[in-house]
């Protein structure tokens, strides 16, 4: 088991709200997540307390209950693209420090207070991130570079302190990092045998499996 403790910089939540208008239609989204002020928070099976999704077909649900994004990418966004990163800037629930997508794996399990979490897939952004950020290139850059963050499913619900770390309790031994899973779905140069192995991972979400198979 690989010892890994991720510092929680911020816990961010939002209910769906109108964030603007495009082509005469209102845009409903919960992407504008703000840090919680409470010291503890309830981690449920499909959401953390105070959070929700506007489009359950593309966001949320058991396999995408908690979205995490690493602070490690902030300097790249700020220096290379002059994008002001910060807690909740990418619509994440957990702003974490201590690892990026190359250091965590599909199937890795973590404890956060009483809750138990498991990494299920990378994130692919939709147009609402572009609208929310005011930068059309943000979503494509996230997808092209694999700076995607990752989703957790909740294996055990419970109460967590917003200040306590998210600690890895089990490291998947197949070596499929979140970045590997991302490349398997978007990079045609990725090894076909490895792509097939990742597709067969039991911990991989069904939605990401379909995305990989669509490219294969």
| Tens-digit pLDDT profile for residues 149-172 | 999 999 999 999 999 999 999 999
Give a yes or no: residue 213 inside a domain. Answer: no
Give a yes or no: residue 65 inside a domain. Answer: yes
| Residues forming a β-bridge with 116 | 111, 156
Q: What is the CATH number of the domain that holds 138?
A: 2.40.33.20
**pTM of the prediction?**
0.96
Give a yes or no: residue 184 inside a domain. Answer: no
Quick one: average pLDDT of 126-134? Answer: 87
Give a yes or no: residue 202 inside a domain. Answer: no
Give a yes or no: residue 178 inside a domain. Answer: no
Q: What's the structural domain count of the chain?
A: 1
Give a yes or no: residue 193 inside a domain. Answer: no
The pLDDT value given to residue 40? 98
CA dist 64 and 117 (Å) reads 11
Give a yes or no: residue 165 inside a domain. Answer: yes
The pLDDT value given to residue 2? 55
Could you count the other beta carbons within 10 Å of the beta carbon of residue 20?
Answer: 13
Residue 97 has pLDDT above 80, yes or no: yes
Q: How many residues does the chain have?
A: 216
Residue span of the structural domain in which 134 resides: 5-173
Quick one: average pLDDT of 90-103? Answer: 97
End-to-end CA distance of the chain: 32
CA dist 74 and 170 (Å) reads 27
Give a yes or no: residue 126 inside a domain. Answer: yes
Three-class DSSP labels, the chain: CCCCEEEEEEEEECCCEEEEEECCEEEEECCCCEECCCCEEEECCCCECCCCCCCCCCCCCHHHCEEEEEHHHHHHHHHHHCCCCCCCCCCCCEEEECCCCCCCECCCEEEECCEEEEEEEECCCCHHHHHHHCCCCHHHHHHHHCCCCEEEEEEECEEEECCCCEEEEECCCCCCEHHHHHHHHHCCCCCHHHHHHHHCCCCCCHHHHHHHHHHC
The pLDDT value given to residue 121? 98
The pLDDT value given to residue 159? 98
The pLDDT value given to residue 6? 98
Portion of the chain with pLDDT greater than 90, in percent: 83
| Tens-digit pLDDT profile for residues 13-65 | 999 999 888 888 888 999 999 999 999 999 999 999 999 998 776 678 999 99
């Amino acid at each position: 088991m690989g010892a890994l403790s991720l510092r929680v910089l911020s816990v961010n939540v939002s209910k769906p709200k109108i964030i603007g208008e495009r082509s005469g239609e209102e845009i409903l989204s919960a992407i504008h997540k703000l840090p919680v002020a409470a010291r503890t928070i309830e981690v449920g099976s499909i959401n953390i307390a105070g959070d929700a999704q506007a489009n359950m077909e593309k966001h949320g649900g058991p396999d995408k209950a908690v979205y995490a994004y690493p602070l490690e990418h902030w300097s790249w966004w700020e220096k290379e693209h002059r994008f002001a990163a910060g807690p909740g800037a990418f619509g994440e629930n957990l702003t974490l420090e201590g690892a990026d997508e190359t250091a965590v794996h599909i199937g890795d399990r973590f404890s956060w207070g009483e809750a138990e979490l498991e990494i299920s897939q990378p994130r692919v952004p939709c147009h609402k991130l572009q609208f929310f950020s005011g930068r059309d290139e943000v979503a494509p850059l996230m997808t092209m570079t694999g700076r995607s963050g990752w989703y957790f499913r909740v294996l055990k619900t419970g109460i967590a302190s917003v200040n306590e770390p998210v600690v890895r309790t089990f490291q998947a031994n197949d070596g499929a990092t979140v970045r590997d899973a991302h490349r398997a779905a978007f990079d045609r140069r990725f090894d076909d045998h490895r792509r097939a192995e990742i597709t067969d991972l039991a911990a991989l979400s069904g939605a990401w499996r379909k995305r990989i198979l669509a490219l294969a």
